[in-house]
Structure 1
C-alpha cells in the first residue's frame, strides 16, 4: 500500500521549500562585499551570466587560482561568501555540478557555513547521492547555535531515500526528542515510512493513529486506510474489525469502509456481518466481477441463496465461469429449483464434454428421481477419464438399479469395482442383484 516512491516524492517536495540563511563565517572584506552586492543585484534581475562574470573577474585579480584556505586573503578574492554566491548562480542556471563544486569550496574555507552546507545537500539529493546529502544536512544542523530542526529532518529523509531506514530512524528519534514542539505532520509521515521500511510496523502504529486523527478530508481517509491495513498485516483481527465498524459509523457513505468491514468479518467467519456490509457496499458503488462473486458466495454461505442467485446469474451473463455456474447450481438446489439449475448447465458452453458439469447434471437428475436420465448422464461422464470415473460408474449402477435395469446396473457396478474407492460398495451391490 505504501510505496517508497511516494515517500521520496514527499522528500522532494520538502526540499523544494528550503530557504537557507546566511553562512556562518567571518564578514567579507569591503572589496568582496561590494562585488557581492553588485552580483546580487544582477541575480535579482536574473542576469546570471553578468553576475557570474563579475565574481569571476573579481577572483581573477588574485594571484592564486586555488589558494590554501588558511592563506591570507585581505581583499576576499576567495572568501566563502564568494564561492557561496557562485554556487547559487550556477544552481539558478541549472548547472548543479558546478554549483556543487562552488559550495564545496565554500565549505572547505568555512566548514560551518550552514547556507553552503544546506545547498550542497540539496544538490547531492537531486543527484541521488542521498548519503552525502544526509551528511551535509547533519553538518548544517550542528553548525548553528540556534538548531534548525528542518535540517535534521532532511538528513533523516535523505537516509530514508538511500534505503538506510535504520539510520534514518536514529535521526528521527533525535529530531523528535530535541524538537518535540516543531514536528510537522509530513515529518511524522516520513517517520512512519521509515518504521515500515525497517520492518517495525508495530512501532509505527501510534504515529499512524495520530495522523489518522489529526488530518481531515482525503488525507485522513488515506491514513485511516493505512491504519486499517496495518491492523490486518499485524494479525490484529479484532482490532481491525472494530476499527472498520467505527469507520462505517463515522463515514457511512464511504464505500471502502463497508468493503473493509466485510473482509474483516469474513476473516473471523462472521458471514452474516460480511454479507450485510457487502450489501451496503453494493448500494454505494457499482460492483466489479470479483465483488459480485464475493457477494454471491457470502449470501450462499450465510444461508440466503435467494440473494446469491441474481449475482451469479449476472456474472454468467458477463462471463462463462464454471466456478460461478457451480455456485449458481448450488444456490438453485437450495431454493428447490433443480429444473432451473439444469437450464443453467445446458446454457453453459461446452457442458456436453465437461466431466465435472456432466456429473453435476447427473446428480440433479438423480435428486429429481429421473433415474433413466441420471444413468445416461453418469455413464456418459464415466467415458471421460478422470477423478470422477469411479463415482460415475457406481452412480450409474444405482440409477439403473432404481429403474430395474439389472443388466445395465450389473455392468456399471462391475466397471465401478475396478476402482479401489468404490470396490467394496460395487461388489456388495453386485451380490445383492445376483441374489435377487
Structure 2
C-alpha cells in the first residue's frame, strides 16, 4: 500500500504602510498569504507483500482454479518475476471471454481478486522499473501481454502505461467489490501519480470509508483533501475544506502542525479567513523560529482585518513583550494606537521603534505631529 507524505510551501510578503503626518491616520501594512495550489505529495513507500495476497485469498475462499493461479503468480512475484506473473494472471482472466458468465464466476476468471492482484503487480513493476531504470529483478523494459500487445515506457522515465493499466484493473476490482479498501487506496496512488487529482481525492475518500472503522487512517482523509485542493478550482477547494472538517472531527489526536498549515491554506483559498484564525493561533503558538514569526504576522493581520480590536491590541502587546527588540511589533502597536486615537501610547511605541530601526521622513514627521498634539516641545535636532 502506498504511503504518501504530503508537504506544502508558504510564501509571505509584506507591503509596508505609508504614514500621513497631517491626519495621523495609517494604512496597516498588508500581510498576504500567497497560496500555492501545488502541494507535492511525495511517495515514500509502496509495498505489496505476499501476506496481503494470501490474507485476501484465504478470506474470500477463491474458486480452486483462481486459487491455483493466484498462488503461482504470488510465487513468481516473490521471485521477482513480475512480468511473468502479469502474463499468467491476464491469461487466466482472458478465459472469461470464452465461457458463460456463470462459468466465469464458477472458475474465478472474473473474480475481483485477479484484477486486484494484476493492479498490484503492475504497480510493483512500475516501482521496480522507475528505481532500477527498467531492469529491476531481471524485468524487461517491455512487458508482453497475453493479447500480444506490450506495455512500453514512452521515454526513459515515463511509466504511464503501467500506471494506466493498473488503474484499469483497480477500477475493475472496486466495481466488483466496492468495499475493497486496499484497491481504492492503490487506485488513488495511481491517479495521483498520473496527475488526476480529483479522482485521486475521491479514491482516497472511498478507501477510507471502505476500511473497517478500526483500520481507518487519518492520513487517507488528509491525502484526499490535499488532492482536491491541488485541483485548483473552487468546487474542489470547497470539497477539500469539507474533507478536512471531517478529518478534524474524527481524528483530532492525529492532527499535526503540518496538517494545520495545509488547512489554513485551504481556508484562505475558500475565503474562510475568519474560520482560520483559531488555527493560526495554534501555529503562532506552537511553531518556532522564522516560521513562527510568519504565523504571528499572519495572525495579527487577521485580527486587524476582522476588526478584532481588543485581540489585536492585546496580541501586539504580547509580541512586544516576548520579543522587545523586533521593530515590526512596535511599529504595528504604533498603528493600532493611532487607530484608537491614543496618541500618547502611539508616541511611546514610535520612540521605542525609533531606537530599533531608522525612521523614515514620514515617521519623523509623524513623531513631530504627535509631540505637538500632546503639547510636548519637540526638538527636530533629536
TM-score (norm 1): 0.57
Aligned partners of 1:274 and 1:57: how far apart in 2? Answer: 78
Aligned to 1:254: 326
Answer yes or no: is 1:102 the counterpart of 2:166: yes
Q: 1:210 aligns with which of 282, 296, 303?
A: 282
2:241–2:266: 8 Å Cα contact kept in structure 1? Answer: yes
Q: What is the aligned partner in structure 2 of residue 72 from structure 1?
A: 107
Deviation at residue 160 of structure 1 after TM alignment = 2.4
Structure 1 residues 160 and 64: CA distance shift in structure 2, 3 A: same
Q: What secondary structure does 2:255 align onto?
A: coil
Structure 1 residue 197: deviation in Å?
2.1
CA–CA distance in structure 2, aligned partners of residues 297 and 140 of structure 1: 64
Give yes or no for contact 1:31–1:75 (8 Å, CA) kept in 2.
no
Write the distance in 1 (CA, Å) between the matches of 2:83 and 2:364: 76
CA apart distance, 1:209: 1.3
Cα 1:278/1:130, change in 2 over 3 Å = farther
Compared with structure 1, are the counterparts of its residues 129 and 57 closer, same or farther at alpha carbon in structure 2 (3 Å cutoff)?
Answer: closer
Q: Which residue of 2 aligns with 1:58?
A: 88
The 1:53/1:248 distance shift into structure 2, 3 A limit, reads: same
Residues 264-413 of structure 1: pairs in structure 2 closer than 5 A: 264-284=336-356, 287=358, 292-303=360-371
Corresponding residue number in structure 2 for 1:131: 198
Task: Compute the displacement of 1:135 (Å).
Answer: 0.6
C-alpha distance in 2, partners of 1:294/1:86?
Answer: 67
Pairwise CA distance, 1:309: 6.3
Q: Cα RMSD between the aligned structures?
A: 3.5
Is contact 1:212-1:220 (8 Å) kept?
yes
* 1:238–1:61 distance in 2 versus 1, CA, 3 Å: closer
Which residue does 2:211 correspond to in 1? Answer: 144
Instruction: Confirm or deny: 8 A CA contact 2:86 2:118 kept in the other structure.
Output: no
SS at 1:3 equivalent: strand
Q: CA deviation at 1:140?
A: 0.7
1:181 lines up with 2:217 in the alignment: no
Residue 157 of structure 1 pairs with residue 195 of structure 2? no
Is the counterpart of residue 231 in structure 1 residue 303 in structure 2?
yes
The 3 A distance-change label for structure 1 pair 292 and 35 is same
Give yes or no for contact 1:141–1:147 (8 Å, CA) kept in 2.
Answer: yes
Greater C-alpha Rg? 1
User: What's the counterpart of residue 81 of structure 1?
Assistant: 117
1:102 to partner: Cα distance: 0.8
SS in 2 for 1:199: coil
Gap runs ≥5 in structure 2: 1-31, 59-65, 131-157
* Structure 1 portions without partners, runs of 5+: 43-50, 311-436
Residue 75 to residue 246, structure 1, CA distance change in 2 (3 Å): closer
8 A Cα contact 1:196 1:204, kept in partner: yes
Q: 1:195 to 1:272 in 2, by over 3 A?
A: same
Aligned to 1:90: 126
Query: CA shift at 1:194, angstroms?
Result: 2.5
Q: 2:190, 2:96 → 1: CA distance?
A: 22
1:114 matched to 2:144: no
> What does the per-residue CA deviation read over 1:211-257, in whole Å, with 9 as the maximum and x for residues that have no partner?
22222333322222221111122122332122111111012233332
Q: For residues 96-126 of structure 1, what are the alpha-carbon distances to aligned partners after superposition, in whole Å with 9 as ceiling and x for unaligned?
A: 4531331331341244443342233234334
Distance 2:245 2:106 in 1: 41
**Kept after mapping to 2: 8 A contact 1:153/1:175:** yes
Q: Contact (CA 8 Å) 1:271, 1:298: kept in 2 or not?
A: no
Larger strand percent: 2
Distance in 2 between the 1:256 and 1:71 partners?
A: 75
